[in-house]
């Protein structure tokens, strides 16, 4: 792995000289976002700072639902007064959903590992960006240590949870992962429990989520001699099974285990006029470039896109985009 980006001195200063913080993250949070926010909030409180975790939600993934109550959705004037904002796991306020208007105008620091290149922000925004970091919780551990603290047991749990979420429980860590495992070792030393974290992330699913998976799998098609697998989830299914029926990660994992596959796409009809398109790839194929060509974003091997339209309209557009990747 490329050497971790050192925690910028301005970020340390921003924290040390502030007394009140709103700790925000992207909308539709995942384990890395939630884990980063809650571990950072806890460390800031230990430094005597008033700290308010904020999230626009929704908390759709089963493993993060237990934490929804720890966040406020719309900070008002009372919360804003004298506060500084730290946004984790995204490139700016524009990804925080309904929080954006509540946070605008306050001193801002971003902590992110997305290589989206849209970290353009208002003057004065501080940025701690490490596109090679396996998770933002990895960066938060470095920050907590740079503040002179050792993570508490609970902070270690949150940080490890984020690291496991973004690395697919270390499945996406490659030969550059020595640093990742060194950090994981420090978190386990501080009390994190891999077995418990695995169960928290992979257990707790509904039987309906398995039924929905069978429908999406049964619709999977091979393209480009099996190098791309594309499937879809109909609006009627989204409604019938509900958001808690979603287990996208497992669907991608199963489809990516097919011999010869290099990229996987799932198009979901979120409502009659809107699609959410998810992309995953192994190694070589850069799906964030494909997603970005339609206005989406993400990482090289995992990206997403929310667009108006229907599955029938988007399928040929997505195939045409992969034509350029594979031919």
Using CB under 5 A as the binding criterion, the count of chain residues that bind Mn ion stands at 4
Q: Which stretch binds Mn ion (CB under 5 A): 25-33, 56-64, 273-281, 315-323?
A: 25-33
Q: What is the number of other CB atoms lying within 10 angstroms of the CB of residue 136?
A: 30
Q: What is the number of other CB atoms lying within 10 angstroms of the CB of residue 124?
A: 8
| 239-270 b/e (C-beta count within 10 Å ≥ 16 → b) | eebeeebbbbbebbeebbeeeebbbbbbbbbb
Q: How far is the CB of 135 from Mn ion (least distance, A)?
A: 5
User: Contacting Mn ion (CB under 5 A), which of 130, 155, 166, 233?
Assistant: 166
Q: Which stretch binds Mn ion (CB under 5 A): 20-28, 148-156, 164-172, 194-202?
A: 164-172
Longest dimension (CA), the chain: 59
Q: Is 111 left (phi over 0), alpha (psi -120 to 50) or beta?
A: beta
Q: Which stretch binds Mn ion (CB under 5 A): 8-16, 49-57, 150-158, 166-174?
A: 166-174
Please identify, using beta-carbon distances, which residue of 109 and 220 lies nearer to Mn ion.
109
Strands of 69-187, DSSP E: 84-88, 108-112, 126-129
What whole-number distance in Å separates Cα of residue 190 and Cα of residue 183?
A: 11
Q: How far is the CB of 323 from Mn ion (least distance, A)?
A: 30
Q: How far is the CB of 185 from Mn ion (least distance, A)?
A: 20
Please identify, using beta-carbon distances, which residue of 32 and 157 lies nearer to Mn ion.
32
Q: Which stretch binds Mn ion (CB under 5 A): 50-58, 163-171, 268-276, 292-300?
A: 163-171
Q: Binding string, 265-304, against Mn ion, x = CB under 5 A?
A: ----------------------------------------
What whole-number distance in Å separates Cα of residue 201 and Cα of residue 167?
A: 12
Q: End-to-end distance of the chain based on CA atoms, in angstroms?
A: 30
Residue at token pair 């697998």 = 229
User: Contacting Mn ion (CB under 5 A), which of 32, 157, 233, 237?
Assistant: 32
What whole-number distance in Å separates Cα of residue 74 and Cα of residue 239?
A: 27
User: Contacting Mn ion (CB under 5 A), which of 89, 130, 247, 249?
Assistant: 89
* Selection from 17, 1, 20, 2 nearest residue 147 by Cα: 17
Q: What is the number of other CB atoms lying within 10 angstroms of the CB of residue 11?
A: 20
Q: Which stretch binds Mn ion (CB under 5 A): 29-37, 147-155, 236-244, 295-303?
A: 29-37
Please identify, using beta-carbon distances, which residue of 16 and 176 lies nearer to Mn ion.
176
157 binds Mn ion, rule: CB under 5 A: no
233 binds Mn ion, rule: CB under 5 A: no
Give me the residues that bind Mn ion (CB under 5 A), please. Answer: 32, 89, 136, 166
């Amino acid at each position: 792995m490329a050497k971790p980006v050192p925690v910028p001195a301005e970020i340390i200063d921003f924290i040390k000289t502030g007394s009140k913080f709103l700790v925000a993250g992207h909308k539709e949070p995942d384990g890395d976002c939630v884990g980063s926010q809650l571990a950072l909030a806890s460390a800031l409180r230990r430094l005597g700072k008033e700290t308010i975790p904020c999230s626009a939600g929704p908390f759709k993934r089963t493993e993060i639902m237990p934490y929804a109550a720890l966040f406020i959705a719309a900070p008002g004037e009372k919360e804003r007064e004298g506060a500084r904002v730290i946004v984790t796991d995204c490139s700016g306020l524009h990804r925080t959903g309904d929080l954006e208007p509540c946070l605008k105008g306050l001193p801002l620091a971003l902590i992110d590992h997305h290589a989206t290149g849209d970290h353009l922000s208002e003057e004065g925004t501080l940025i701690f960006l490490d596109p090679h970091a396996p998770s933002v919780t990895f960066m938060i551990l470095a920050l907590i240590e740079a503040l002179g603290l050792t993570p508490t047991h609970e902070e270690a749990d949150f940080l490890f949870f984020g690291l496991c979420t973004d690395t697919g429980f270390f499945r996406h860590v490659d030969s550059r992962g020595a640093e990742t495992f060194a950090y994981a070792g420090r978190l386990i030393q501080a009390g994190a429990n891999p077995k418990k974290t695995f169960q928290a992330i992979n257990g707790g699913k509904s039987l309906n989520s398995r039924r929905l998976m069978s429908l999406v799998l049964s619709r999977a098609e091979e393209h480009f001699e099996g190098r791309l697998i594309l499937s879809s989830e109909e609006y009627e299914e989204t409604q019938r099974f509900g958001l808690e029926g979603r287990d996208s990660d497992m669907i991608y994992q199963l489809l990516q285990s097919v011999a010869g596959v290099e990229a996987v796409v799932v198009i979901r009809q979120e409502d009659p006029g809107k699609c959410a398109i998810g992309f995953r790839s192994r190694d070589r194929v850069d799906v964030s470039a494909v997603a970005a060509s339609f206005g989406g974003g993400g990482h090289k091997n995992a990206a997403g896109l929310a667009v108006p339209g229907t599955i029938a309209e988007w399928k040929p557009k997505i195939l045409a985009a992969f034509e350029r990747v594979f031919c």
